[in-house]
Structure 1
Amino acid sequence: MEHHKWWQLTTLLFVSIMFQSSLVKTNDIESLEDSLCKQVNKERENPITGLFYNISLPSNYTGIKARVVRLRTSSFYQRGINYSLFNIPPHIVPLPNRKRMAILFENFGNWSSHYFNVPNYTMVAPVFGFVAYTSSGNDFLDNEKMNLVIKGKPILINFHYVRVQEKNDTPICVKLSDNDGGILGFRSMTKDYACEAYGSGHYTLVVPISEESYIKSQSKRFTQWWIVGFVIGFVGLVILVLILVNLVKAAKRKKIKNLENNSENGEPFDTFWIGDTKLPLASMIRTQPVLEND
């Protein structure tokens, strides 16, 4: 029974490692945002228009920050909104046309490279995002996303936390995909550490990866895969040993069973037990001594 439990445990561990190592991106941005919307609707009923609310996140997402605000679409069109790093000017049309809307602001912090990937570039700032949703009834956020149609000035995103190591490196603005965390497009900065956005989404600053950094990243990736390969090989070896042990035990039990069947079909013997094993016992007949005549 104990070996059976070990077998289940090692098999589960092996499958888990194989599954995780086979995926480049195990996380989906849309699924995360869907969870955020559900959390907001659960925590905040009858939200106050114009008031920003923090979104509670599980402890395993420490580092990600998210806030949400509910607005009247007419007020949003006339005044726009300024929040932290985001400067959304007036005269932006949210579609579809609804009486109320809500905007989700995100800062992925140290989770940026976990959710997003820009090949041949290094992210030098966190990924910031904003997504507009319809808002109706008591629900803070509906499942329906809104498009922001910009007819005048673009949205401005200011990056205050930039890590540029080389003086000659000029960061480039990049818009990232919500589906796979890849690239949607590049754009030069309009002013220092600021990006123009022509729609909702996720944005960050990147610099081309240097040859030295590329070699380091490849070496790190090789080390990671070597460790994964070693763990998979070790777990596979443990599973193989357990399989062989179980096969040997099964063969031994079958042999003892055959001996018991043969003993039952032949001359009857007494039996005795050693642990969980039943063995035949032959009665001992001592030869009687014979006296010889001199």
Structure 2
Amino acid sequence: MGYKNIITVMFYLSLVFLFSFISSSLAMGSRAYDSIVFDEFVREYAEKAVKRPRTGTLYNISLPSNYSGVEVSYIRLKSGSLWNRGRNSTLFMIPKRISPEPYVNRVDMIFQNVGNLSSFYFDVPNYTFVAPVVGFHVYGADANYSGLDGSRMVTFRLREDPIVVRFPSISLGENDNVTMKCVRFGTDGSEVEFSSVTAPNYTCNAYDQGHFSIVVPSLPPPSMKKRKKRGKVWLWLIIGGGGFISLILSGILVFKMLKTRKIETMVKESEKSEALDIIWIGKSKMPSASIIRTQPVLENDYFP
């Protein structure tokens, strides 16, 4: 294998490793992106489904069949009504003395129970969901309102009590002896905040909109521990073997490069000298002088 071929192989291996790194990085951020797209889709779908919402009326929205198991409800409220009475729904208890920022006269609130698609749109590394992801978002409903970032989303400002998040079901399974944690996903889908679960009702306290759930630390089965140990041994063997092969390839590459440079130097030196003819003797190629440079001359012209 020529050194050019070796360089080509190493170049393609580098591309493979780079592609793997980029793919893993994209995979980590893909769910956060998908959750944002999902929220925007739900908002637009809810507004199209209810052309002229009546203030204070809760509408249950039926999503397309590919979102089976996801529950969405939509309500338009006056900001003054929220301030005086709050809002108590199946999933969220929004307290009194709460106001939108920036202030608008009316707000559209969209509630979600992501259900069996929770793990598709959201992920907490090293944790397992024991409750479905639920969430709510608040949008300004005033005519032609658009926030500073070009969207209609507004935030809530709490004056007294926090928002109480309820969950339709909690399934602990074999994780009944582990500590549960509340988790909140920010509006961009990537920010994750942990807090304590409020006993005995298994609720969470929230201070802003977003998505919420309850998680527990992931516990791998006992058989997986042995597999992990074996996997680590094989990983080190693969890394060691790969490093050894890379060292050999690097040595061959350096040797070929030095040899090539030496041959190039010899060729350049030969080009500086007087050119000689080439003759073949058997299977060997050898230089040959075409003529004799110096003619033989007798020391004197005397012949006996």
1:146 to 138, 147, 154: 154
The amino acid that maps onto 1:191 is A
Describe the shift of the 1:213–1:160 C-alpha distance in structure 2 as closer, same or farther (beyond 3 A).
farther
2:67 to 61, 73, 76: 61
After TM superposition, the structure 1 = structure 2 runs for residues 260-279 of structure 1, keeping only pairs within 5 Å, are none
Q: Distance in 2 between matches of 1:62 and 1:213?
A: 35
After TM superposition, the structure 1 = structure 2 runs for residues 37-48 of structure 1, keeping only pairs within 5 Å, are 37-48=43-54
2:212 to 200, 203, 223: 203
The amino acid that maps onto 1:174 is V
Aligned to 2:128: 122
Aligned to 1:10: none
Unaligned ranges ≥5, structure 1: 1-17, 223-294
2:193 to 185, 204, 207: 185
Aligned to 2:93: 87
Superposition deviation, residue 183 in structure 1: 4.8
1:110 pairs with 2:116: yes
2:82 to 70, 76, 82: 76
Describe the shift of the 1:213–1:163 C-alpha distance in structure 2 as closer, same or farther (beyond 3 A).
farther
1:156 pairs with 2:164: yes
Q: Distance in 1 between matches of 2:144 and 2:50?
A: 9
The Cα offsets for residues 97-153 of structure 1, whole Å up to 9 and x where unpaired, read as: 1111111100000000000000111110000101111112499xx941111111200
The amino acid that maps onto 2:50 is R
Could you state the TM-score of these two structures normalised by the residue count of structure 1?
0.61
**Does the CA contact (< 8 Å) of 1:157 and 1:195 recur in 2?**
yes
Aligned to 2:142: 136
Superposition deviation, residue 211 in structure 1: 3.2
Q: Distance in 2 between matches of 1:94 and 1:205?
A: 26
Aligned to 2:176: 167
RMSD: 2.9
Describe the shift of the 1:64–1:213 C-alpha distance in structure 2 as closer, same or farther (beyond 3 A).
farther
The Cα offsets for residues 53-112 of structure 1, whole Å up to 9 and x where unpaired, read as: 122311111111111100000001111000002111100121111111111100000000
**Does the CA contact (< 8 Å) of 1:118 and 1:183 recur in 2?**
no
Structure having greater relative contact order (Cα 8 Å, sep ≥ 6): 1
Superposition deviation, residue 30 in structure 1: 1.8
**Does the CA contact (< 8 Å) of 2:93 and 2:164 recur in 1?**
yes
Q: Distance in 2 between matches of 1:59 and 1:167?
A: 34
**Does the CA contact (< 8 Å) of 2:187 and 2:209 recur in 1?**
no
The Cα offsets for residues 21-51 of structure 1, whole Å up to 9 and x where unpaired, read as: 9745366222122122222222222210111
Superposition deviation, residue 164 in structure 1: 0.8
Describe the shift of the 1:92–1:132 C-alpha distance in structure 2 as closer, same or farther (beyond 3 A).
same
Q: Distance in 2 between matches of 1:50 and 1:120?
A: 41
The Cα offsets for residues 164-195 of structure 1, whole Å up to 9 and x where unpaired, read as: 1233123110111443x445211011223100
Q: Distance in 1 between matches of 2:170 and 2:218?
A: 15
**Does the CA contact (< 8 Å) of 2:184 and 2:211 recur in 1?**
yes
Describe the shift of the 1:214–1:59 C-alpha distance in structure 2 as closer, same or farther (beyond 3 A).
farther
Q: Percent identity?
A: 36
Q: Distance in 1 between matches of 2:66 and 2:151?
A: 25
Partner SS for 1:37: helix
Superposition deviation, residue 213 in structure 1: 8.0
Describe the shift of the 1:169–1:58 C-alpha distance in structure 2 as closer, same or farther (beyond 3 A).
same
Aligned to 2:280: none
Aligned to 1:278: none
Could you state the TM-score of these two structures normalised by the residue count of structure 2?
0.59
**Does the CA contact (< 8 Å) of 1:133 and 1:146 recur in 2?**
yes
Aligned to 1:212: 221
Aligned to 2:16: none
Q: Distance in 2 between matches of 1:172 and 1:146?
A: 27
